Chain A
Amino acid sequence: MGIASLDLYSQAIVLFAALALFTSFIMLAQARMMPLIFTFAWQGLLLAVVTVLVALVSNHPHLYISAALTFALKVVVIPWLLYRLSVRLGMQYDAEAIAHPTLLLLGGVALVIFSYHVAQSIVHLSGLATRNTIAVSIAIELLGMLLMCARKSAVAQVIGFMSMESGIFFAAVVSTYGMPLIVELGVAFDILVASILFGVFFFHLRDSFGSLDVGQFNRLSEANQSMPLREAAGEPSAGDPA
């Protein structure tokens, strides 16, 4: 149905969903750490607002809980954690060299088209006025995945991971008015634990590699496995009790 036939609340839902998609694109191209984290927080805020609006329109009070969960995790806890860690690790002004930013953005556009195609086959099941946003939620998820694959900094990968999670949460909100409460709580718990573990890992990465650039990971790649000269180069082999 065309957007003009929706009421203003539903229009606002669509608008905020589009803005959340936009933040996904911004994150894709944002090389600097601090703006990346803040953009992620903005996305969380937009999705929380959408959830509240859906709750208002559809009269599903339990969606307020998931909006609160989204707000607490995606706007407060995780950005704050990432911010603190970046400051502690002295990398708040770091910028990452993104290879082929234009290609990346075009890939993102291709993913949006793909998610539209995917969503086309399933939206007819939904009776919701805002069902067109299902495609946007899939796109946010896939863009998060693209972010994880394309970027080499650990922080960007974490943000991609969390953004995927946001997209899925959003999909649940707009397609089915959210998942059962126990599942949502469980997922939120998992995300919380994951974000803490990521924090622990940042320190490990820094201690072992001197930076959070996971692009230099190559010790375990299959290409290096066939090099029998590893000990000849004086490098300790994996699991060697040095």
Chain B
Amino acid sequence: MEFQITKKAKNVAFGLMGFGALLTIIGVALTQADHHFWTRFLASGLISGFFFFALGLGALFFLSLKYATETGWYAAVKRVIEAVAGFLPVGMIVLGVVLLVITYMDGAHIYSWMDPEVKAHDEVVRHKAAYLNPIFFWIRTLVYFTTYYLFYRGFRNRSLEEDKVGGTEIHFKNYRRGAHFLIFFAVFSSTSAWDWIMSIDVHWFSTLFGWYTFAGMWCSTMVVLVLTTLYLKTLGYLPNVNDSHIHDLGKWTFATSFLWSYMWFSQFMLIWYANIGEEVVYFQLRIAEFKFLYFGMFIINFAFPMLILMSRDAKRNAGILMFVGLMILIGHWLDVYIMVSAGALGANAKIGALEIGMALLMAGLFIFVVLRNLTKAPLTPVNHPFLDESNHHEI
């Protein structure tokens, strides 16, 4: 069955974009006189740019994980995963533009290591310059973008071709390509998190940081997949998706929430316990300036899914999934907000019209692009070798 964007969905998407753009303009007008204006403006762009880019990347990762493990149950929701991964090109453009402007402004106090003046006076930054310099930064960024894009295009093209020709040859090719992507992603998920997010707090480092960022991204992606599937179900699409598929997606949301919480705690506890000056500074700043938000978002992202999604019935209930999902999504956006803003602005960081406006603008764009991707192919893959298994999925 072909998917058609309803008029309502289009209005919501464009409404969000319009309202977001309006809020952003109001935010610009309000804070423009502020001498932190550019830092705040670009940090806000980085937060929402990265968050929504990561949703697409998480879907690409999840898709290749399913290919590499030759999973069967997901075949009925495969097009949903592909559609979310299809935000990747748009997300890359937005994130790329933000990074470009930041580089042009010598780091704009976000990436202080890009600033030649900081580099001249700062011993630590000078020592890290072999890795953290604008040219190598851009080489890496472009390598990530190219790799992600090529894999995405390959998966998508083969998926559409499989609809036409069938057989198992494409399946085995996807199996190999899925494994290849995971190898690249294992390295890139860490290094890209260091480059784009961790280098904001340039004096600080944590080897767990990449996995932490990745866990947050995976969790948000699972939420988006659940919400999109539920939305399509309420419109009467995806007749083959039953309670068991929803249950499985719910379990993934539950599990990845725990993965994220585990990473958060591992990073926090080790640094808290060792209590070494150059390490604790990261958390001291966040606790001093963002105590409520920092622990608040931990409670939202950990306690909510744990307590509410624990039972089997809750994972099969559309209303509960929607509610918890939206809460987690906001929680993970706050997580990215604190990661970026605390490092870039410290005590001057605020959630105002600028941050909310850009988040809504990107949310509208994201919804529109994902829905448009859904229209481009049949919602159920026609010749997926595991489609029959997926149609009879029952747990």
The finding on whether chains A and B are genuine partners in a shared complex, rather than unrelated, reads no
B-binding residues in A (CB < 8 A): none
